[in-house]
Structures are given as C-alpha cells and as structure tokens.
Amino acid sequence: MSRIAYVNGRYLSRREASVNIEDRGYQFADGVYELCEVRDGRLIDERRHVERLRRSLEELKIAWPLVPSALAVVMRETIRRNRVRNGIVYVQVTRGVARRDHAFPPAGTPSSLVVTARSLDPGGNERLAADGIAVITVPDDRWSRVDIKTIALLPNVLAKQAARSQGAREAWLVDREGRVTEGSSSNAWIVTADGKVVTRPADNGILRGITRSVLIDAIKAQGLVFEERAFTIAEAHTALEAFVTAASQIVMPVVRIDGRPVGSGKPGPVATALRRDFHKHAEWA
C-alpha cells in the first residue's frame, strides 16, 4: 500500500511528498510538532496534544496553518488514507517558506503543515515492555526552553544515538546538579524504595508530556503516592523501579541504567500496572 502524507493542502504519495528547500523548518528548525497515539482507530488525548500545539505555536509566534477544527479533519483523513488502526499520527508546523534570513518572514507568510501517520505493531511494543529497556545517562546540554515542542532536536538526536551505540534504547539527560531532567524523547520516572512514584516537575527544564499528565491521574487512581520533584542519578540507581513515558511507548519499564540493574532487573509491578491501566485514564476521540 502506498503511504500518503498531507503537505500544505494536498494528500500526496510519500514518493511525491516534499517541502521547499527554503522552508524554515529545513533552514532553521523553526517549527514545532506533535505526535499522537492511534489506538483501535481512535486518537488518544487529541485535545491535550492540540492544546500543547497551541501553546508551542504561541510561544514561538508561529501562526496556525489551519483552524484547529480543520487540523482535526486532516489528522483523521491522514490516518484513514494510511489505514492506521494502531500507530501514530505526526503533525509538524513550521514558520513557512521565505528567502533565508534569520528574522521572521514578512507578515502573512503562511505556515507550513505536514501530517503523516503510520502503523506500529502493538505486539512489538508489548514485547519490549515485557523485557524492559536499558538507558544510559548523558549531560543535558539543551537550550532553556525545552518545554516548547520544537523540531530543533539535535541534542536529543545525539543523546539517542549515544544510547543506541551502547546497546540501550533511551538516554536520560542529566542537569548540572546531577539530576535527571527527562529522556531524549520521553519523560523519566522512578519508584523509590518506599514506593513513591517520582518525576521531575514540569517547569522549563522538561517537556510537559501528555502521557506524563495522564499517568499522574492513573497513579492517583491506583492510590499510589506521587511526588513531583527532581531525582538524582544516584537515587535512580537505588530505585525499586524506573520507567519512561511517551505517546508512542505509553509506560516503558527501564531495567538497566548505565549498565546497572534497576531493582530486580525486571519490569516492576508499579510500571506494569500503570501501563495496563493507562488507557482507562486517557481521552479517546
């Protein structure tokens, strides 16, 4: 089946789909994105993802490429044309096409919009979650506005590659005080020896993950103690459990950090139960 991408008003086969070389996304990484889970043909937490897109666009003063109701139609149509039942839909908005100049292009320059969707094998993710993943740690050398979901992801790319080259699936980024901020493409969590579920506060130092927000509801519903605070690498090494969250992975147990086993070295009961219950707390659209 040929895959279809939405590019600035047209649905094109992936072979034909392309953007202008003067697109500011290509020239300056001057754009933002969202990635939303598709499950049983439904969009998971669409409202929250679109709300975060609104915030990212506003923070960077990028105009909406379409009104949000039209974007909702394009997302669904892209999912439909690609026959995705379980997978992801990806939305990218850039400041549009203009002759290369760092300053913003003339007022009225239309933003660019690309929407793609692809199927993911739910079984593959489940197998990964059953085994758990390894993470490494690297210094967090990103800019100070990582709360905005921009497409400028070079430090994240380098961190992820460092993880892959060491046989791990994710890199945890560590601030100057030795505290974990988040993963290169996920939020980071631990379960302490006394059973508290801990993640860093959503200030400007992390992306406020949608999965993270929904999981806080699941944690409270399960009667677990939730603590929103930074934790150190040393604390993570002595944690009972660790896990990461992201729309494409939901709750993914972490079983090794820098080569050292976390807890029993197997996915723990807290992460496993939160993964099982996550979608009861998510919004299905």
CB of 105: closest distance to ligand PDD in angstroms? 26
Contacting range for ligand PDD; rule: CB under 6 A; set: 122-130, 160-168, 206-214, 265-273: 206-214
Q: Is 149 a catalytic residue?
A: yes
Tell whether residue 207 is a contact of ligand PDD (CB under 6 A). Answer: yes
Task: Rule CB under 6 A: choose which of 29, 35, 66, 120 binds ligand PDD.
Answer: 35
Compute how many other C-beta atoms are within 10 angstroms of the C-beta atom of residue 1. Answer: 7
Tell whether residue 182 is a contact of ligand PDD (CB under 6 A). Answer: yes
Contacting range for ligand PDD; rule: CB under 6 A; set: 5-13, 123-131, 178-186, 273-281: 178-186
CB of 212: closest distance to ligand PDD in angstroms? 6
Binding mask 68-107 for ligand PDD (x = CB under 6 A): ----------------------------------------
Tell whether residue 210 is a contact of ligand PDD (CB under 6 A). Answer: yes
CB of 248: closest distance to ligand PDD in angstroms? 5
Task: Rule CB under 6 A: choose which of 93, 246, 251, 262 binds ligand PDD.
Answer: 246
Tell whether residue 248 is a contact of ligand PDD (CB under 6 A). Answer: yes
Three-state secondary structure readout of the chain: CCCEEEECCEEEECCCCCCCCCEHHHHHCCEEEEEEEEECCEEECHHHHHHHHHHHHHHHCCCCCCCHHHHHHHHHHHHHHCCCCCEEEEEEEECCECCCCCCCCCCCCCCEEEEEEEECCHHHHHHHHHHCEEEEEEECCCCCCCCCCECCCHHHHHHHHHHHHCCCCEEEEECCCCEEEEECCCEEEEECCCCCEEECCCCCCCCCCHHHHHHHHHHHHCCCCEEECCCEHHHHHCCCEEEEEECCCEEEEEEEECCEECCCCCCCHHHHHHHHHHHHHCCEC
Contacting range for ligand PDD; rule: CB under 6 A; set: 65-73, 131-139, 233-241, 244-252: 244-252
**Positions marked catalytic:** 149
Instruction: Give the footprint of ligand PDD on this chain (CB under 6 A).
Output: 35, 156, 182, 185-187, 207, 209-212, 245-248
